[in-house]
Chains A and B, each alone.
Chain A
Amino acid sequence: MLERRGQAAAAAAAAAAAPDAVARAKSPLGWAVLVAGVIALLVANLSIGAFDVTPGTIIDVLLFKLGLAARGDFTLAEESVISVIRLPRTLMAAAVGAGLGIAGAALQGLFRNPLAEPSLIGVSSGAAFAAALVLVLGISGAFALPLGAFVGGLLVSVLIYAFARRGGGRTQMATMLMTGIAINAALGSAISFLVFLADDAALRDIAFWLLGSLSGSVWRLVVVCAPLILFAALVLTRYGGALNLLSLGDAEARHMGVRVERAQFVIVAAAALATGAGVAVAGIVGFVGLAAPHIVRLVVGPDHRRLLPASALAGAMLVLGADLLARTVVEPSEMPVGVVTAVFGTPIFLLLIDRSRRRLEQSDW
Chain B
Amino acid sequence: MNDAPPPALRTESVGFSTEGKQLLRDVSLAVHGGQLVAIVGPNGAGKTTLLRLLAGDIQPADGRIYLDERPLSDYTPRELARRRAVMPQSSHLPFLFTAREVVRMGRAPWEGERGEREHGAQLAEHVMGLTATREYAPRAYPTLSGGEQSRVTLARVLAQETPILVVDEPTAHLDPRHQHLVLELLHELASEGAAIVAVLHDLNLAAAYADRVAVLHRGELVCCDAPHTALDPDVLRPVFGLDFISQPHPDGDRPVLIPLPRRALAEPTSPHTGADM
Q: Which residues of A does B touch, CB under 8 Å?
A: 3-4, 7-8, 10-11, 14-15, 17-18, 21-22, 24, 109, 112-114, 241, 244-245, 247-249, 251-252, 254-260, 297, 301-303, 360, 363-365
Contact = CB atoms under 8 A, between A and B. Distances in A.
Contacts of B93: 11, 247-248
A260 B76 CA distance: 11
B88 interface: yes
B111 A21 contact: no
Contacts of A257: 77-78, 80-82, 108-109
B161 to A, nearest CB: 12
A22 B77 CA distance: 33
B108 A256 contact: yes
A4 B95 contact: no
B130 to A, nearest CB: 19
B270 interface: no
Contacts of B81: 255-257
Contact of A248 (B85, B105, B138, B160): B105
Contact of A364 (B86, B97, B143, B160): B143
B97 A303 contact: yes
A303 B90 CA distance: 20
Contact of A7 (B92, B97, B109): B92
Interface in B94-124: 94-98, 101-102, 105-106, 108-109, 111
A21 B76 CA distance: 35
Nearest to B143: A363
A255 B76 CA distance: 11
B57 interface: yes
Interface in B60-84: 76-78, 80-82
Contacts of A8: 142
Given A21-B139, A360-B143, A365-B143, A259 B77 contact: yes
B101 A14 contact: no
Contacts of B145: 364
Nearest 3 pairs of A and B residues by beta carbon: A257-B81, A302-B95, A257-B78
B146 interface: yes
A21 B140 contact: yes
B108 A245 contact: yes
B209 to A, nearest CB: 23
B142 A11 contact: yes
Nearest to A22: B138
B57 A254 contact: yes
Contacts, number: 107
Given A251-B88, A363-B143, A241 B138 contact: no
Contacts of A24: 98
Contacts of B94: 10-11, 14, 112-114, 247
A163 to B, nearest CB: 21
13 contacts: A3-B90, A11-B142, A14-B95, A15-B142, A18-B140, A21-B140, A22-B98, A245-B108, A252-B91, A254-B57, A255-B85, A256-B108, A256-B109
Nearest to B57: A251
Contacts of A22: 98, 138-139
Interface string B174-186: 0000000000000
Contacts of A302: 95-97, 101
A141 B56 CA distance: 53
Contacts of B97: 244, 247, 301-303
Contacts of A21: 96, 98, 138-140, 143
Given A14-B95, A21-B96, A251-B55, A256 B82 contact: no
Contacts of B91: 248-249, 252
Contacts of B88: 249, 251-252
A256 B138 contact: no
Give the one of B85, B94, B108, B140 with max A CB within 10 A.
B94
A24 B160 CA distance: 25
Nearest to B92: A7
A255 B96 contact: no
A26 B81 CA distance: 28
B55 A255 contact: yes
Nearest to B97: A302
B237 to A, nearest CB: 33
A256 B108 CA distance: 6
